[in-house]
Amino acid sequence: MNTLKNLFSPITINKMELPNRCVIPPMGTNLGNRDGSVSDANLAYVKRRAQSGAGLFITEITGVHPSGTIGLSVADDKFIPGLKEMARAIHQAGAKGALQLHHAGREAYDQLRKGTALAPSAIPSLVYKIAPKEMTLDDIHEITRSFGQAAGRAREAGFDAVELHAAHGYLLAQFLSALSNQRTDQYGGSLKNRARFVIEVIAEVRKTVGNDYPVLLRISAEEYIKNGYTVEDMQTILPDFVNAGIDAVHASVGTHGSPGGITSAPLHFEEGWNAWRAEKLKEVTDLPVIAVGRFSDPRLADAVIARGSADLIAFGRQTLADPDFLIKAKESRFDEIRKCLACNQGCIERLMLEPGRSIRCAINPETGQELVYPRKPAPESKKVWVIGMGPAGLTAADEAARLGHQVTLFEKEEDAGGQIRYASKAPGKQIYAEWINWLIRQVKSKGVQLKTGTTVTGEILSTSKMDAVILATGSKVYRPDIEGSNQPLVCDALQILGGQVPPGKNVVIIGGGFTGMETADYLAERGSAVTIVEALDRSPVSKATGQGYILHKRIKEARCKLLFNVQVKLITANSVVLISHGEEFVLSVDQVVLATGAVPNQVLKEALKEKGVPYYIVGDARRVRRIIEATEEGAEAAWSISR
């Protein structure tokens, strides 16, 4: 019996009737054509998301002017045909569509390099460190008109609404922020003056589309940066935006430069953590307010609406992880929902740190690959062995079984999960274990035969019959050649996280990567005094990612020490001898934890060569990396077998 009566109740925005309060918010994909037009990959991605059953689908950012377009474009009539196809795909799924109108301002990298990027003031981009051109009054008027013209094109293309992007540090938000807007004319100074450009854009859009066409405004309810505006500040100008002609408010948070990638909050932030800001905005407007911020459980979303904190809920990354989650929720199949890990590996970091790459999801191999994702059973059902039950092996088995193969899944340990069994022990990462358990349920439901506590040897391979093998044997702990590393006080990070070795009181962790820092976090939470030593001159864990920022913050708050540019000379029965800049020093300890990395485990590779059957090496068994590489390679191996 479905109990989500609030989430699945209808609502009207202006004259647009929505069947429920579920919103798919704008998410960049980099799937479009290079000229900003809609591609077949875009359409396939949109169609799959729209099938979720959400009432409103808001497209990814769509540029209104060449000076600030960084993805899709609506800056010319030539883009209308592709956008019509996108609106049609949304409508065919039974949803309403809103085109998000956008100008990147000083965050348009190509335009910054060419000297054509525009912004309220010539203050360098927080991301690219390049200064834009300060907008003249003529520039302001031209961009204002371009928003109106773009809204007219959106309506012509068949979209049911438009959303103006005034959040996350892009042009409209740059005018609102005193950190990026230091103008001395009527568009600068007080917050009321800084809001003038946004108000004029709203008015221009309203004039173009008429009174009955819904206009949404996405804002960062709080700038979430030192000396930035607060939600209380936003309360003072929201009525002006309403008077200018908006019909709903989309209450996001943060900007470029906000710590920890807060606009896509990592897993250490609780689900729905930003909903209270939507509630604050509801205090000053009767318009519908959309809450957004790490929503993955529809039951929580229903409760937020029930208590009056918001009128609609935006599910972003969750629709990447499981585009069918709302369908499952309606049928009370909550255990079948694949919940977003908030890891940001495929949806944020991939686009941010790997230029030219398109969107993916670390735990859903279909996302961003809708055109190549095989949907029909393989022409021939094959006998497939998958060796290893970590993320790569479980994903490979799940996909191979989905495509109709007879799959046997082996694991030498008694429990499935591979490295995730240890990673999930770090503070805040229990959801990783939930995901692995979900995967195990999936493969079982598809008839995969699981054999835990079973070591596959070369002899077993040579005497058994199978049509293909996927080698997902993961990695082995790398132990460096350090004098004294065989002392009783020495263990590795996995032994600590796995509970085989109890925490010490005074601990040195050798290795400052993710494993070392998460182990430090784990030990500090249990009362250990921790020192991390790292041979590099800086941390391998980047603060540019949400996970990295939070981890550094937690380590600092726990008063763990990080020592860089340090080599380990000797481990004794109760100390570690270290060398820094040619000088030796000694730390007294009762435990030394090795977090010095891992190496691929390819012990069966030669046996597979001799066997002569097709085989695929995936995940850490190929090269030690992250979840996203493991799941992508596991899925691709299953797809290759099925061709």
- What pLDDT score was predicted for residue 259? 83
Is residue 608 domain-shared with residue 585, that is, in the same domain? no
The CATH number of the domain holding residue 501 is: 3.50.50.60
The CATH number of the domain holding residue 466 is: 3.40.50.720
Residue 184 lies in a domain: yes
Instruction: Provide the residue type at 383 as one letter.
Output: K
Domain that holds residue 419: 383-477+599-641
Is residue 169 domain-shared with residue 247, that is, in the same domain? yes
Per the annotation, the verdict on 549 as an active-site residue is no
What average pLDDT score do residues 55-77 get? 98
Exposed, middle or buried, 133 (CB in 10 Å: 0-12/13-18/19+)? middle
61 DSSP 8-state letter: P
In the block, tokens 């030690």 appear at: 624
The values of phi and psi at residue 319, to 5°, are -75, -20
Is residue 582 domain-shared with residue 605, that is, in the same domain? no
Residue 466 lies in a domain: yes
Q: Count of alpha carbons within 13 Å of 322, Cβ hemisphere only?
A: 23
Cα(20)–Cα(329) distance, integer angstroms: 13
Helices marked H in 25-170:
40-50, 80-92, 109-114, 137-156
Q: Which residues of 479-517 are buried (b: 16+ CB within 10 A; e: fewer)?
A: eeebebbebebbbbbbbbbeeebebbeebbbbbbbbbbb
Is residue 424 domain-shared with residue 499, that is, in the same domain? no
Residues 6+ apart with CB under 8 A from 362: 341, 343, 345, 346, 626, 627, 628, 631
Is residue 317 domain-shared with residue 405, that is, in the same domain? no
- What pLDDT score was predicted for residue 351? 86
Residue 585 lies in a domain: yes
Cα(311)–Cα(289) distance, integer angstroms: 5
- pLDDT tens figures, 526-548: 999 999 999 999 999 998 888 89
String of DSSP letters for 120-131: SS----TTT---
483 DSSP 8-state letter: B
The values of phi and psi at residue 501, to 5°, are -125, 125
- 284 within 8 A of 293, measured Cβ to Cβ: no
Other C-beta atoms closer than 10 Å to the C-beta of 346 total: 28
Residue 360 lies in a domain: no
Is residue 583 domain-shared with residue 444, that is, in the same domain? no
Helices marked H in 378-530:
391-402, 420-423, 430-445, 458-463, 493-497, 514-525
Residue 22's pLDDT band (boundaries 50, 70, 90)? very high
Is residue 51 domain-shared with residue 134, that is, in the same domain? yes
Final residue before a domain boundary, out of 596, 614, 631: 596
Three-state DSSP class for 209?
Answer: helix
Final residue before a domain boundary, out of 353, 374, 408: 353
The CATH number of the domain holding residue 241 is: 3.20.20.70
Cα(236)–Cα(231) distance, integer angstroms: 9
- pLDDT tens figures, 381-405: 999 999 999 999 999 999 999 999 9
- 208 within 8 A of 144, measured Cβ to Cβ: no
Where do the DSSP E strands lie in 169-317? 215-220, 248-252, 289-292, 312-314
pLDDT surpasses 90 at 353:
no
- From the list 619, 574, 573, 571, the residue with the least C-alpha distance to 596 is 571
Where do the DSSP E strands lie in 152-288? 161-166, 215-220, 248-252
- What pLDDT score was predicted for residue 354? 82
In the block, tokens 């908030």 appear at: 342
Three-state DSSP class for 635?
Answer: helix
- CA 414 to each of CA 396, 454, 515: distance values in angstroms, whole numbers, following the listed order: 19, 8, 23
Cα(220)–Cα(216) distance, integer angstroms: 13
Is residue 289 domain-shared with residue 301, that is, in the same domain? yes
Residue 135 lies in a domain: yes
Residue 368 lies in a domain: no
pLDDT surpasses 80 at 195:
yes
Cα(275)–Cα(279) distance, integer angstroms: 7
Confidence (pTM) = 0.96
45, 109, 128, 170: the catalytic one is: 170
- What pLDDT score was predicted for residue 112? 97
- pLDDT tens figures, 556-611: 999 999 999 999 999 999 999 999 999 999 999 999 999 999 999 999 999 999 99
Residue 6 lies in a domain: no
Cα(374)–Cα(636) distance, integer angstroms: 10
What average pLDDT score do residues 217-234 get? 97
Is residue 523 domain-shared with residue 630, that is, in the same domain? no
359 DSSP 8-state letter: P
Residues 6+ apart with CB under 8 A from 243: none
The chain-wide mean pLDDT, for the chain, equals 96
- What pLDDT score was predicted for residue 2? 61
Is residue 472 domain-shared with residue 531, that is, in the same domain? no
Residue 482 lies in a domain: no
pLDDT surpasses 60 at 1:
no
Cα(233)–Cα(251) distance, integer angstroms: 14
- pLDDT tens figures, 417-433: 999 999 999 999 999 99
Is residue 91 domain-shared with residue 239, that is, in the same domain? yes
- 74 within 8 A of 35, measured Cβ to Cβ: no
Is residue 18 domain-shared with residue 105, that is, in the same domain? yes
The packing angle between helices 80-92 and 137-156, to 10°, is 50
The values of phi and psi at residue 149, to 5°, are -65, -40
Helices marked H in 469-529:
493-497, 514-525
Domain count, the chain: 3
52 DSSP 8-state letter: T
Residues 6+ apart with CB under 8 A from 59: 26, 46, 72, 86, 97, 98, 99, 100, 159
Positive or negative, the CA dihedral 12, 15, 17, 22 is: negative
Final residue before a domain boundary, out of 336, 353, 370: 353
